[in-house]
Structure 1
């Protein structure tokens, strides 16, 4: 008989999230010839902490990227490697890790569980100076930000020691979000001058992580402020908010500029501007090298974390363990600013 564990389970789209017993997952052997480019094999992780993300409640309500029911959601996880079946994963039993778990995949892959299966290619080694609570805040936000900057916008990597011959700006719309705060730090490490938007209460925080110019997104003259700073020569925009703010990004971009977005794309168009969406949710499903690209970016982020060149999100730990997750997701839906909600599982 299979060992049993507790997990948060969703039985149908729009249904209740229920804590119940499920079979303890077992990592599956995957022959190299059947793996996606960059796929390294599975790990079983004993979960210590998880982070809550907007995608979690949106999936529960909307059913997107869910391959079948019942399913355990959650994609930001930190814990200890308990088992692995394939050589070449780069991990050993007992390693402290944090990972981006496969989104919406039944069979033990969700983070909201006492044990979770993760793909080694989207797993970080945990820097010893970070707490378990901080570690869980890292994977989804940092990987999405990196895909936006280095894949969609095609910027040079921080580890390539890029240098610009003159001041080069990037606008990051929504800098106080999880993705936005990692994007600010990564862009600064890349040598860019960061302009970002946020409510005034978060301006000091964004300056503390490297933003040069922080603008109140409610300001009626926000477009004029950006154009004044960039002298109408803005080449890069990363938007983490919605279509409306993407449209503002198009307005302030110069000809031949680039816009990357992580949520909803623009409804307007601008000739000569490259627009590209970022979808971390697709990396485990895409055979076109997305997983390989993501893993390369992960190794860069991991190095910066170990060197202390980027910091984790601000966090708030909520009570209740697995039982506290449904209420936490409801709170996240109603609005949480400049911090990541974290749940301790172990």
Structure 2
């Protein structure tokens, strides 16, 4: 008889998130992962989980869900309890953090006392980071990295690129989790970062490496950006909405590139390429996107170890699995420049 554990379960689209007992998962092989040594799962005892807007949106809208009942949650840190077949480089007792499979039944959801971490999307936790900080990293950093280095095709910061002239990037929504990692990664890549936020978060974003921090509510925001870039902006990453994607589109020059996370632009601009950043699809295309994700994970992991990027500011919620539903409601009401992280026993 399988051991039982507590998890937050969603039984239907738009349903209530219910804390109940489920079977403790066991690692599964992933023979098509195409990432040597990382073609399988780790069973991890969860120490902390971070809450993301995608979590409550999934529950309400039902996107990226392969079937019900399902345990949601995709940002977690913990200790490896078992290593699946086909996995090398990880051992029982390792401290890890991961972006877990989004909306996949069968033990992959992070809102649980134990969860399966796909090895290809799992980081080793740097020892200088707390458990709370560790859980704040995977989804935000990997979404930012995917947007910058896959969608926008920028050079990797670990390749020590340097631009011989000033090259700008606009990151709309810099104080969000994804935005704050994007600011740091772009600065490490050698770009001059322009970002937007409410004034109370401007100093924070400058401390992350932003050269220009603008009030997103400013009525002349387009003129401000054009004045800085002299109408020569080639790269933009929007993490907020279709409305802000439209503004990014407006300030991009011919042959510019826009990557968006939260909503496509409803306007069009000739000569500008726009693409969506789809972290949630990476494990659904194991021979392509998962390999890309694993490569970017190694880059982020190295920068974390070297102290070149730092985790989000976090607000800790005590109470483990039972505290997650209320935590998601708090997140839905709005959180600024910090990540809500639930601490387990």
Mark yes or no: TM-score above 0.5.
yes
1:168-209, Cα deviation, whole Å (9 max, x unpaired): 100000000000000000000000000000000100100011
Give the stretch that moved more between structures: 274-283 or 85-94.
85-94
Residue matched to 1:236: 235
Residue matched to 1:278: 277
How many equivalent residue pairs? 343
Residue matched to 1:156: 155
In the alignment, structure 1 residue 37 sits paired with structure 2 residue 24: no
In 2, Cα distance between equivalents of 1:313 and 1:22: 31
How far 1:288 sits from its partner (Å)? 5.2
In 1, Cα distance between equivalents of 2:252 and 2:69: 45
SS in 1 for 2:256: strand
SS in 2 for 1:283: helix
Residue matched to 1:180: 179
In the alignment, structure 1 residue 21 sits paired with structure 2 residue 18: no
In 1, Cα distance between equivalents of 2:167 and 2:39: 37
In 1, Cα distance between equivalents of 2:95 and 2:33: 25
SS in 2 for 1:260: strand
* TM-score, normalization by structure 1: 0.98
Mapped contact 2:148–2:154 kept (Cα < 8 A): yes
In 2, Cα distance between equivalents of 1:151 and 1:318: 34
1:32-80, Cα deviation, whole Å (9 max, x unpaired): 3xx1333521110000000000000001001111111111100001000
Residue matched to 1:131: 130
Mapped contact 1:104–1:110 kept (Cα < 8 A): yes
Mapped contact 2:29–2:39 kept (Cα < 8 A): no
Mapped contact 2:160–2:189 kept (Cα < 8 A): yes
How far 1:14 sits from its partner (Å)? 1.2
Residue matched to 1:9: 9
How far 1:85 sits from its partner (Å)? 2.2
In 2, Cα distance between equivalents of 1:95 and 1:230: 46
Residue matched to 1:264: 263
In the alignment, structure 1 residue 306 sits paired with structure 2 residue 305: yes
How far 1:143 sits from its partner (Å)? 0.2
1:131-167, Cα deviation, whole Å (9 max, x unpaired): 0000000000000000000000000000111010111
Mapped contact 1:24–1:108 kept (Cα < 8 A): yes
Residue matched to 1:227: 226
In 2, Cα distance between equivalents of 1:67 and 1:97: 25
Residue matched to 2:107: 108
In the alignment, structure 1 residue 171 sits paired with structure 2 residue 184: no
1:248-279, Cα deviation, whole Å (9 max, x unpaired): 11110011110000110101111111111101
In 1, Cα distance between equivalents of 2:335 and 2:34: 36
Taking the TM superposition and a 5 Å limit, the aligned residue runs for 1:195-214 are 195-214=194-213
Moved over 3 A (4+): none
Mapped contact 1:75–1:100 kept (Cα < 8 A): yes
1:67-103, Cα deviation, whole Å (9 max, x unpaired): 1111110000100010012234321111000000101
In 2, Cα distance between equivalents of 1:307 and 1:42: 27
SS in 1 for 2:259: strand
In 1, Cα distance between equivalents of 2:186 and 2:84: 37
How far 1:289 sits from its partner (Å)? 0.5
In 1, Cα distance between equivalents of 2:287 and 2:26: 27
Taking the TM superposition and a 5 Å limit, the aligned residue runs for 1:64-103 are 64-103=63-102
In 2, Cα distance between equivalents of 1:75 and 1:87: 22
How far 1:111 sits from its partner (Å)? 0.2
